[in-house]
């Protein structure tokens, strides 16, 4: 990976974060354990997400794993004996990790999971919460909850079912099997697959395109798609209307129109 100047570190360096040219990057950095997530890492992940969320210069966030072998290999199983050995302990564990995932679920900016290698269990949960998943050809995906005796939970399964449908969700959950990138692409778990050497460049190219587009228009798409996925009775149509109005009254819409007429690249400000 190229040298990075403005890097911040959380969870003793196991979560890294930096931002360049409107693109924020969070790196799961525990390659010796295939980036398995400890509770400290979940909390560091939450801090990194919050920092990038509150940085006005950041328009899109990429999540990736360090070491080339894994995105995230799931929760750190070595912590389970202490922190997740029964229902009561699991509840406390869930409370601490769910809070960080909720930040990602409600993230106001577009997010991309850049997946190389193993993406398992809790790693799948993170990847499925991202808006878009881009993977390398050597990636592998699975949720081995049935091999460990773990209930995967409502939020994780809701996303799995919405991406791959109930039958594939059952096959994956009942067997705990791993599938490769080609199969993940075919069933809709990931959107694009590239050779290992091209993954980062291709992911950055998508992120840069997003970061140069009109932030309010992207926000409108993000909010509206999230509402489409809800039951009709739970949909917040006012939120869709409000962002639509903000968009159509924005300086960026003026800039977009003008730039098109003047045959130049627009310069958007997010207002």
Instruction: Give the number of other CB atoms < 10 A from CB of residue 267.
Output: 10
Residue 189: which of 148, 156, 218, 226 has the closest Cα? 156
Q: Output 127 or 247, the one with its CB closest to ligand COA.
A: 127
Comparing C-alpha atoms, which of 76, 218, 71 is closest to residue 141? 71
In angstroms, give the least distance from the CB of 95 to ligand COA. 17
* Residue (75 or 193) nearer to ligand COA, CB: 75
Q: Does 14 bind ligand COA (CB under 6 A)?
A: no
Is 162 among the residues that bind ligand COA (CB under 6 A)?
A: no
Q: Does 74 bind ligand COA (CB under 6 A)?
A: yes
Q: Which of residues 219-258 bind ligand COA (CB under 6 A)?
A: none
Give the separation between CA 207 and CA 52, rounded to whole angstroms.
Answer: 14
Print the binding letters for residues 115-154 with ligand COA: x by CB under 6 A, - otherwise: ---x-xxx---------------------x---x-x----
CA dist 118 and 141 (Å) reads 6
Only segment of 6-14, 69-77, 86-94, 234-242 that touches ligand COA (CB under 6 A):
69-77
CB of 145 to ligand COA, least distance (A): 7
**Taking CB under 6 A as the rule, does residue 89 contact ligand COA?**
no
Looking up tokens 């360096």 gives 13
CB-based contact 18:6 (threshold 8 Å): yes
Nearer to ligand COA, 110 or 123 (CB): 123
Q: How do beta strands 140-142 and 178-180 pair?
A: antiparallel
Q: Binder to ligand COA among 14, 34, 109, 159 (CB under 6 A)? A: 34
Shortest Cβ distance from residue 142 to ligand COA (Å)? Answer: 8
Q: Is 36 in the site for ligand COA (CB under 6 A)?
A: yes
C-alpha neighbours within 13 Å on the C-beta side of residue 97: 24
How much of the chain is helix, strand and coil, in % rounded to 5? 55, 20, 30
CB of 147 to ligand COA, least distance (A): 7
Euclidean distance between CA atoms 49 and 62, whole angstroms:
10
**Interface pick for ligand COA out of 33, 64, 101, 109 (rule CB under 6 A):** 33
Shortest distance, position 243 Cβ to ligand COA, whole Å: 36
> Cα–Cα distance between 98 and 270 in angstroms, integer?
30
User: Quick count: other Cβ atoms within 10 Å of Cβ 204?
Assistant: 18
Spatial distance between the Cα atoms of 233 and 225, rounded to a whole number of angstroms? 15
Between CA 15 and CA 7 the distance in angstroms is 10
Q: Which is nearer to ligand COA, 80 or 107 (CB)?
A: 80
Which of the ranges 114-122, 229-237, 245-253, 261-269 carries the binding residues for ligand COA, by CB under 6 A?
A: 114-122
Which residues of this chain interact with ligand COA, rule CB under 6 A? Answer: 33-34, 36, 69, 73-78, 118, 120-122, 144, 148, 150
């Amino acid at each position: 990976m190229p040298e990075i100047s403005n890097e911040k570190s959380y969870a003793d360096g196991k979560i890294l974060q930096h931002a360049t040219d409107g693109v924020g990057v969070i790196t799961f950095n525990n390659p010796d354990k295939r980036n398995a997530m400890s509770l400290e890492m979940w909390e560091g992940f939450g801090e990194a997400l919050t920092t990038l969320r509150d940085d006005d210069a950041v328009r899109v966030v990429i999540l990736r794993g360090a070491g080339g072998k894994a995105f995230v290999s799931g929760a750190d199983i070595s912590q389970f004996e202490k922190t997740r050995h029964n229902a009561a302990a699991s509840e406390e564990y869930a409370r601490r990790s769910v809070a960080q995932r909720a930040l990602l679920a409600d993230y106001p900016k577009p997010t991309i999971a850049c997946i190389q290698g193993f993406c398992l269990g809790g790693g799948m949960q993170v990847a499925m919460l991202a808006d878009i998943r881009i993977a390398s050809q050597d990636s592998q995906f699975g949720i081995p909850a049935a091999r460990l005796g773990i209930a995967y939970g409502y939020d994780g399964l809701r996303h799995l079912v919405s991406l791959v449908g109930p039958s594939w969700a059952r096959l994956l959950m009942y067997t705990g099997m791993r599938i490769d990138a080609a199969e993940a692409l075919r069933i809709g778990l990931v959107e694009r697959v590239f050779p290992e050497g091209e993954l980062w460049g291709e992911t950055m190219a998508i992120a840069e395109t997003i970061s140069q587009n009109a932030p309010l228009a992207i926000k409108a798409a993000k909010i509206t798609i999230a509402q489409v996925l809800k039951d009709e009775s739970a949909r917040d149509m006012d939120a869709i209307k409000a962002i639509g109005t903000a968009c159509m009254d924005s300086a960026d819409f003026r800039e977009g129109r003008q730039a098109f007429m003047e045959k130049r690249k627009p310069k958007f400000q997010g207002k």
